[in-house]
A and B are shown apart, each in its own frame.
Chain A
Amino acid sequence: AQSVSQHNHHVILSEAASLELGCNYSYGGTVNLFWYVQYPGQHLQLLLKYFSGDPLVKGIKGFEAEFIKSKFSFNLRKPSVQWSDTAEYFCAVIITSSGSARQLTFGSGTQLTVLP
């Protein structure tokens, strides 16, 4: 079964610092990749997604992610974080090359705290 690893469980940054959150997945076939954000007390919101094409995808709120197939990675980046980016971030994967119903598998999440 596929799995998704987010190695950073909690990241603390000061405002204006640059952000990179790691995401690795463990499937060698074709995948769709997602980053979701969950602000305190709220539901999941889609930040960005990768299906095909340009491996550098841009999402909402200045976030971007790069798909590196050789490294099975889909790291999330933001050049300059703001206090309002404090949230939990989840990487997720759907395997698209399987003939059966394709499950969305989540990583364990990374809590980002941005200090003002």
Chain B
Amino acid sequence: NAGVTQTPKFQVLKTGQSMTLQCAQDMNHEYMSWYRQDPGMGLRLIHYSVGAGITDQGEVPNGYNVSRSTTEDFPLRLLSAAPSQTSVYFCASRIEGATNTIYFGEGSWLTVV
């Protein structure tokens, strides 16, 4: 099925470890983004990309890196995980256009101990 695929779904990290959350979409969407969801705070934008080779910071970018080498993939990297990064992460994609319909991945539950 077409859509946004995120991996892994669950991950436990130790403080200081690094990891990459993968996100891929097969809908040829220009726009991709990463959000984190924390209780009482809704979803907050971490980083986004408007096309291959272009990325920019969102509301809470510190501690995260992204790259967009292809249209399909938008990985999110935690270089040195901290307990404050324990959260649920959602990748999303959409076409820049009139519909503005956003497709979300199923989420990645990350715990940093």
Residue ranges of A at the interface with B (Cβ–Cβ < 8 Å): 4, 6, 9, 32, 34, 42-44, 46, 49, 51, 90, 92, 94, 96, 101-109
Contacts and interface: CB of A to CB of B under 8 A. Distances in A.
Given A43-B106, A106-B44, 7 more contacts: A43-B105, A46-B102, A51-B98, A101-B31, A101-B56, A106-B35, A108-B42
Interface residues of B, number: 25
Contacts of A44: 43, 90, 104
Given A103-B58, A104-B92, A46 B100 contact: no
Interface of B: 31, 33, 35, 40-45, 48, 50, 56, 58, 90, 92, 96, 98-102, 104-107
Nearest to A103: B45
- Main DSSP-derived SS at the B contact region: strand
- Main DSSP-derived SS at the A contact region: loop
A44 B45 CA distance: 15
A103 B48 contact: yes
Contacts, number: 53
B100 A90 contact: no
A83 B41 CA distance: 25
A90 B40 CA distance: 11
A94 B104 contact: no
A111 B35 CA distance: 19
B6 to A, nearest CB: 9
A105 B58 CA distance: 10
A109 to B, nearest CB: 5
Nearest to A38: B37
A100 to B, nearest CB: 9
Given A46-B101, A51-B98, A94-B100, A106 B43 contact: yes
Contacts of A106: 35, 42-44
Contacts of B102: 34, 46, 104
